[in-house]
């Protein structure tokens, strides 16, 4: 256990996160102020929610680049149906249902038609966003009931906890348990490590992948609801580019881009790290180009470091077993 703690990347990222927090609070006046911390959580809501699905996909050895487009399509459907007289609860359900359906279509195309998930979701990235454009065009819908628009923006009572946080925590615990404490999670890891061996172990790989694509779509739909209310805006270009931040957060959190390896708390730390660095640079009034460069460098480190660490770890274990 000592060995594991010393070497694993998802432990290192916790340390990096702490260092960033300390450094940020020393170099800015209000990094750790309740408002700013609340902002970090709030700003990363959708990324976190989508990452809970995408982590399963990357572990499976798949990818979904269309999550942000699903968010936009769901959001557009929410706005459109509400504007056309649907009660708000129905509009919300439609948003989530559309997301779920989009995820299922991705999974079906990948597994049944046998196309690579990178190719499929590059296609649906454009397709889903295109449909959103078709529905709303350049229109923006921003008349929503006040109760809902405060959500994800307002805090709970007088505390600094954003209202979306409890939902994220609930999903985080749920998906964390699913990944680490159930046969479903074990099969997810197994498929990522060796799809062939998984088949020999009696795992229905195709069904499993469709399920994961589908709940990733579901989560993107949920993210669509939060995004719409947080900005009080339903429009077709909502959340553009968020898919890369989601994937970055997963890789930053130690999920292997080759599949088979990943932890939920690593990903949560990854999201918080990305969010914290962003916030720190914003408070320091560093301009946007530099923020992008820093994010890029972080991402490169996060892809390289786990590989190097795991190599060192494996060599150590091998040496141990030989002696």
Residues in touch with another protein (CB under 8 A): 4, 177, 181-183, 186, 189-190, 193-194, 196-202, 204, 260-261, 314, 317-318, 320-321
Pick from 48, 68, 39: which is nearest to 276 by CA?
39
Residue number, 3 or 293, with CB nearest to another protein? 3
Residue number, 4 or 84, with CB nearest to another protein? 4
Identify whether the C-beta of residue 250 lies closer than 8 Å to the C-beta of residue 59.
no
Alpha helices in 183-255 (DSSP H): 183-193, 195-200, 205-230, 242-252
Nearest approach in angstroms of CB 123 to another protein is 27
Nearest approach in angstroms of CB 193 to another protein is 4
Residue number, 67 or 190, with CB nearest to another protein? 190
Alpha carbons 232 and 50: distance in angstroms, whole number: 19
Residue number, 157 or 183, with CB nearest to another protein? 183
Nearest approach in angstroms of CB 222 to another protein is 22
Pick from 121, 153, 147, 109: which is nearest to 54 by CA?
121
Pick from 111, 106, 142: which is nearest to 126 by CA?
106
Nearest approach in angstroms of CB 267 to another protein is 19
Residue number, 193 or 232, with CB nearest to another protein? 193
Residue number, 140 or 193, with CB nearest to another protein? 193
Alpha carbons 117 and 111: distance in angstroms, whole number: 9
Alpha carbons 43 and 60: distance in angstroms, whole number: 27
Nearest approach in angstroms of CB 183 to another protein is 4
Q: Is 305 exposed, middle or buried (0-12, 13-18, 19+ CB in 10 A)?
A: middle
Output the six-digit token pair for 199: 């088949």
Identify whether the C-beta of residue 188 lies closer than 8 Å to the C-beta of residue 179.
yes
Nearest approach in angstroms of CB 162 to another protein is 30
């Amino acid at each position: 256990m000592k060995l594991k703690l010393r070497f694993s990347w998802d432990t290192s990222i916790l340390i990096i996160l702490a260092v960033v927090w300390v450094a940020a609070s020393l170099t800015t006046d209000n990094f750790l102020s309740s408002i700013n911390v609340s902002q970090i959580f709030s700003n990363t809501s959708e990324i976190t929610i989508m990452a809970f699905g995408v982590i399963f996909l990357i572990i499976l050895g798949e990818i979904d680049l269309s999550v942000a487009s699903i968010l936009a399509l769901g959001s557009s459907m929410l706005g459109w149906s509400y504007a056309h007289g649907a009660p708000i609860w129905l509009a919300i359900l439609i948003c989530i249902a559309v997301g779920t359906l989009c995820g299922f279509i991705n999974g079906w195309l990948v597994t049944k038609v046998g196309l690579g998930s990178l190719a499929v979701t590059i296609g649906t990235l454009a397709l889903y966003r295109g449909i959103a454009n078709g529905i709303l065009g350049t229109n923006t819908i921003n008349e929503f009931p006040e109760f809902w628009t405060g959500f994800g923006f307002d805090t709970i009572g007088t505390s600094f906890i954003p209202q979306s946080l409890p939902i994220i925590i609930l999903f985080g615990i749920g998906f964390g348990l699913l990944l680490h404490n159930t046969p479903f999670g074990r099969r997810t890891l197994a498929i990522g490590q060796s799809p062939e061996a998984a088949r020999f172990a009696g795992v229905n790989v195709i069904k499993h992948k469709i399920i994961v694509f589908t709940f990733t779509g579901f989560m993107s739909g949920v993210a669509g609801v939060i995004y719409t209310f947080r900005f009080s805006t339903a429009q077709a270009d909502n959340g553009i580019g968020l898919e890369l931040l989601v994937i970055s957060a997963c890789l930053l959190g130690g999920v292997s881009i080759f599949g088979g390896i990943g932890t939920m708390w690593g990903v949560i730390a990854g999201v918080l790290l990305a969010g914290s660095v962003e916030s720190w640079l914003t408070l320091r009034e560093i301009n946007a180009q530099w923020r992008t460069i820093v994010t890029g460098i972080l991402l490169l480190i996060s892809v390289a470091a786990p590989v190097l660490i795991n190599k060192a770890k494996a060599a150590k274990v091998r040496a141990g077993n030989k002696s």
